[in-house]
Chain A
Amino acid sequence: DTAVSQTPKYLVTQMGNDKSIKCEQNLGHDTMYWYKQDSKKFLKIMFSYNNKELIINETVPNRFSPKSPDKAHLNLHINSLELGDSAVYFCASSHGQGRGGYTFGSGTRLTVV
């Protein structure tokens, strides 16, 4: 009965590979996000979608491409993985427009070797 679920939980891959992380929410929220948490625990927004429309696209290498097939799903595809991409990636969702805080997924720990 998880509210925001991400898969996989752990991902170990070699440099240069392409990988995807999937996120789904069953809260009926209309906005979804991807955040990156680095080794110093800093949480930085990457992307945000509202009803399948991209509304926030921070300064992120274009090797990262989000896709939202519907408002309950937001996936993240990463091409040509680099060592510096190693981090924990959190998906989150919210009603947006000031109607409540974020609910985070459990995170995906990506390790690039």
Chain B
Amino acid sequence: GENVEQHPSTLSVQEGDSAVIKCTYSDSASNYFPWYKQELGKRPQLIIDIRSNVGEKKDQRIAVTLNKTAKHFSLHITETQPEDSAVYFCAAAQGAQKLVFGQGTRLTINP
């Protein structure tokens, strides 16, 4: 089955700097890669996703890149703000069913 590894487990950056979170997956059949943000005590919320026929996708300050050959994908957040502080999860699935999540990255933005 699919296995997703996520790094780092914690990340602290200065406000305004960029943050990068990386994930690798094991199942070459996986073709859907979403990222979720979970604030303290809240539900995980989808912030961006990418499918295997695309190498990069951007939405304002958030971008995701996918390298299918190497089986890794990354989340990039630019111009970080205090409200970006949260736990971020990557996930992988074949056809968006049975998402397998990474272990999560606790991102802290320091003012």
Interface positions of A (Cβ within 8 A of B): 31, 40-45, 48, 50, 55-56, 90, 94-107
Contact = CB atoms under 8 A, between A and B. Distances in A.
Interface stretch (B14-22, B62-70, B98-106): B98-106
Nearest to B52: A98
B31 interface: yes
Nearest to B101: A43
29 contacts: A31-B97, A40-B103, A41-B87, A41-B103, A41-B104, A42-B101, A42-B103, A43-B89, A43-B101, A43-B104, A44-B101, A45-B98, A50-B97, A56-B98, A90-B44, A94-B97, A96-B97, A97-B97, A98-B32, A98-B51, A98-B96, A100-B96, A101-B36, A101-B49, A102-B34, A104-B43, A105-B43, A106-B42, A107-B43
Contacts of A43: 44, 89, 101, 104
Nearest to B104: A41
Nearest 7 pairs of A and B residues by beta carbon: A104-B43, A98-B95, A43-B101, A101-B46, A101-B34, A41-B104, A98-B96
Sorting the interface of chain B by its residue count into under 10, 10 to 19, 20 to 34 or 35 or more gives 20 to 34
B45 interface: yes
B95 A97 contact: yes
Contact of A42 (B34, B98, B104): B104
Given A48-B97, A107-B43, A98 B31 contact: yes
Contact of A45 (B44, B46, B87, B99): B99
B99 to A, nearest CB: 6
Contacts of A55: 97
B102 to A, nearest CB: 9
